[in-house]
Structure 1
Amino acid sequence: MKGFLLSFGSEFYKTRKTLGFWGSIILPLAITLLAFVAIYSKSDHFANKPGMMVWIQFSMISLGSMGTLLLPIYTIFVAYSVNNVEHKADTWKTLFSLPISRWAVYGAKYAYAFFLLTMCMALFTLLNIGFGNLLGVIKPELKFSEYHMELQLAQVFFKLLLSAMGILSIQFLLSLLWSDFLKPMGLGFVATVTGVILATNDWKYAYLFPYAQPMAAIKSMIKHQRGPADHFEINVFTQDVYVSLIIAVIVFFAGYVIVQKRSVK
């Protein structure tokens, strides 16, 4: 455990000035601020709508963008940036020669990539809640205060996080084994476009393809309406999320076996 914590801490110091780290802060801030400006500038258009609908319109700007291309692409970039630090400095051999197990090094790097992804999704949740309530104060006619969507937003972004775990494990392994930018990023981008096409066209097996799972998660998030019209529930653990987690675990342990048996340059 001590080796894991030391390795995890070193990842922060190595990446704290990189775009991968700051992207987890800038991306949610920029998109949520854009949503704030969009709703604020068209407040007259939304003034006659109920509070729940205004919340949905506001939050879907973030959810729609993250559920299609941005979340998969950002996940790919995070996985690449965490391992690129070692590729760029040519320190893999030095890192694995330290008196710390390969398991601790490998696990800490993966955990740090997961941490960056979690921080990004947590900030999306907090900023959507914060900016939404701020809009309710600045523009009372938007009726944000009539409906509370904090729980649903937390559930949706948590579901998006889980749906990206398969992508994270695959890209983490690819970026660890390949030092160049084009192979892991190029394959990830092509796979993301393919996943978006599959999910958009409602292919019945799209949930089995990791890069389609964020969009599939968005499309399957709302439970069948059984209560009043002004209430809805988020279905977090759908089949796409379960498949994503299964793929993530399998690829994670397969990656460790590969790293153990292969000389990482």
Structure 2
Amino acid sequence: MKGFLLSFRSEFYKSRKTAGFWGAVILPLVISILAFLAFFTKSEKFAMAPAMTLWVQFSAVSLSSMGSLLLPMFTIFIAYSVNNVEHKADTWKTIFSLPISRWAVYSAKYFYALFLIFLCLTLFVVFTIAFGNFLSVLKPELKFNEYHMEAEIAQVYFKLFLSALGILSIQFLLSLLWSDFLKPMGLGFVATITGVILASNNWQYAYLFPYSHPIGALKTMIKTNKGKANDLVIDVFTQDVYVSVVISVVVFVLGYYIVQRRSVK
């Protein structure tokens, strides 16, 4: 455990000035500001909408972007950037020669990438709620303060987080084994486009393809015939989420055995 914590802390110090780390902060901030400006400048267009509808429309600006392309591509980039630090400095042999188990190094890198994705999606929740309530102060006609959707927004982003786990495990392993940019990023991009096409066309087996999971998670997020008629009930643990978690665990364990038996340059 001590080796894992040391490795995890080392990942933070190595990446705190990289695009991967700051992207996890800037991406949700920029998209949330754009949504804020859109509602602020066109407040008269939304003034007559009920409070719940306002929250749905406001949060949908960020969710529609993250669920289609941004989340898969961000996950791919994070997986690459965490391992690229070692590829770029050519320090893999040095790291694995330290008196820290290879398991601790491997798992710390993976969970640090996981942490960055979790941080990004958590900030989306925080900024969405904060900017929505701020709008009700600046524009009283936008009655965001009359309805509370904090729990539902958090559940949706948690579901998106779970839906990205399969992609992360696959891309993490690819970017660890391949030092160049084009192979893991190129394959990830092609797989993402394929996943979007499969999910958008409602292919019945799209839930088996990890890169379809983010958009699939949004399409299956509303639980039917549950709760009051004027409430949203989020269905977090759907079929696509379960498959994503299973794939992430299987590939994570498989990746460790591959790394353990292979000389990583």
TM-score for both structures, normalised by structure 1: 0.99
AA partner of residue 264 (structure 1): V
AA partner of residue 17 (structure 1): K
> What whole-Å deviation, never above 9, does each CA across 1:36-85 have from its counterpart, x for those lacking one?
00111111010011000011000000000000000000000000000000
Separation in 2 of the partners of 1:232 and 1:7? Answer: 41
Q: Report what 1:101 is aligned to.
A: 101
Q: Report what 1:90 is aligned to.
A: 90
The 8 Å contact of residues 191 and 211 in structure 1, kept in 2 or not, is answered as: yes
Q: Report what 1:205 is aligned to.
A: 205
Deviation at 1:104, TM superposition (A): 0.2
> What whole-Å deviation, never above 9, does each CA across 1:75-116 have from its counterpart, x for those lacking one?
000000000000000000000000000000000000100000
Separation in 1 of the partners of 2:59 and 2:138? Answer: 17
Percent identity, please: 71
Q: Report what 1:254 is aligned to.
A: 254
Deviation at 1:229, TM superposition (A): 3.0
> What whole-Å deviation, never above 9, does each CA across 1:237-258 have from its counterpart, x for those lacking one?
0000000000000000000000
Deviation at 1:142, TM superposition (A): 1.1
AA partner of residue 83 (structure 1): N
List runs of 5+ in structure 2 lacking aligned partners.
none
Q: Report what 1:167 is aligned to.
A: 167
TM-align CA RMSD: 0.7
Q: Report what 1:131 is aligned to.
A: 131
Separation in 2 of the partners of 1:97 and 1:116? Answer: 26
> What whole-Å deviation, never above 9, does each CA across 1:12-35 have from its counterpart, x for those lacking one?
010000000000000000000100
1:232 aligned counterpart, secondary structure: coil
Deviation at 1:225, TM superposition (A): 3.7
Separation in 1 of the partners of 2:225 and 2:60? Answer: 19
Deviation at 1:226, TM superposition (A): 3.9
2:141 aligned counterpart, secondary structure: helix
Separation in 2 of the partners of 1:163 and 1:29? Answer: 22
Separation in 2 of the partners of 1:149 and 1:136? Answer: 14
Separation in 2 of the partners of 1:181 and 1:16? Answer: 20
Q: Report what 2:264 is aligned to.
A: 264
The 8 Å contact of residues 177 and 264 in structure 1, kept in 2 or not, is answered as: yes
Residues matched between the structures, number? 265
2:179 aligned counterpart, secondary structure: coil
Q: Residue 110 and residue 226 in structure 1: after superposition, are their counterparts in 2 closer, same or farther (change >3 A)? A: closer
Deviation at 1:227, TM superposition (A): 3.8
Q: Report what 2:215 is aligned to.
A: 215
Q: Report what 1:15 is aligned to.
A: 15
Separation in 2 of the partners of 1:140 and 1:249? Answer: 47
Separation in 2 of the partners of 1:143 and 1:189? Answer: 40
Q: Residue 127 and residue 195 in structure 1: after superposition, are their counterparts in 2 closer, same or farther (change >3 A)? A: same
Separation in 1 of the partners of 2:192 and 2:242? Answer: 19
AA partner of residue 206 (structure 1): A
Q: Report what 1:61 is aligned to.
A: 61
Q: Report what 1:185 is aligned to.
A: 185
Separation in 1 of the partners of 2:152 and 2:226? Answer: 16
Q: Report what 2:25 is aligned to.
A: 25
